[in-house]
């Protein structure tokens, strides 16, 4: 499958005709503060949109606390796969920028990388998505890092995840 080219497409990028799954880094969904876990509203909107399309979802984190973080944020039910640091260690997977964790999550969802989207806010994460030959690598710029995310492998960079639904 050819990589999605946003610049040369007038149609929405998130369609079931193009993609089967979205794989999220946990940090694009939530922020952990001293008072607890908060969700990013744009991330919740995107999760609802993806669910409405019937796409499969996974969440990834190098932390061993991914499941409790999702539970605290009220997001547990949105994900079929939660690939965290413990699962990575158990499977002997390399961390980012290796694509191992993203490839393993796609396999657990029974989808191909070419028909999957990686949504990442870290340089190593977009490098992992690119190295894994995922169909679309989305960089999420919440810290004014647009140019570096593009330079390191993001096909597109957004500051608001709702941009993916247009």
> 29: which residues sit within 8 A by CB, 6+ positions away?
39, 40, 43, 47, 59, 73, 75
CA dist 156 and 13 (Å) reads: 11
Length reported for the chain: 166
pLDDT for the residue numbered 4: 53
pLDDT for the residue numbered 12: 60
pLDDT exceeds 90 at position 57: yes
Q: Which of 3-17, 59-73, 112-126 has the lowest mean pLDDT?
A: 3-17
Mean pLDDT of 59-88: 94
| Model confidence band, residue 117 (pLDDT cutoffs 50, 70, 90) | very high
pLDDT digits (tens, 9 = 90+) for 77-108: 999 999 999 999 999 999 899 999 999 999 99
Model-level pTM?
A: 0.92
Residues 109, 102, 41, 140: what is their CA dihedral angle, to the nearest 10 degrees?
-150
pLDDT for the residue numbered 10: 46
Fold exhibited by the domain 18-116+126-148: Rossmann fold (3.40.50)
């Amino acid at each position: 499958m050819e990589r999605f080219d946003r610049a040369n497409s007038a149609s929405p990028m998130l369609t079931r005709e193009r993609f089967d799954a979205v794989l999220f880094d946990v940090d694009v969904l939530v922020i952990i503060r001293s008072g607890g876990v908060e969700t990013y509203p744009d991330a919740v909107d995107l999760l609802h949109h993806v669910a409405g399309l019937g796409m499969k979802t996974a969440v990834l984190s190098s932390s061993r606390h991914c499941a409790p973080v999702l539970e605290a944020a009220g997001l547990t039910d949105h994900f079929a796969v939660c690939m965290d640091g413990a699962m990575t260690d158990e499977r002997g997977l390399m961390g980012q920028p290796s694509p191992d964790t993203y490839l393993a999550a796609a396999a657990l969802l029974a989808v191909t990388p070419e028909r999957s989207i990686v949504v990442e806010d870290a340089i190593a994460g977009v490098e992992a998505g690119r190295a894994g030959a995922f169909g679309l690598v989305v960089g999420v710029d919440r810290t004014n890092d647009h140019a570096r995310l593009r330079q390191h492998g993001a096909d597109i960079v957004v500051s608001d995840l709702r941009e993916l639904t247009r």
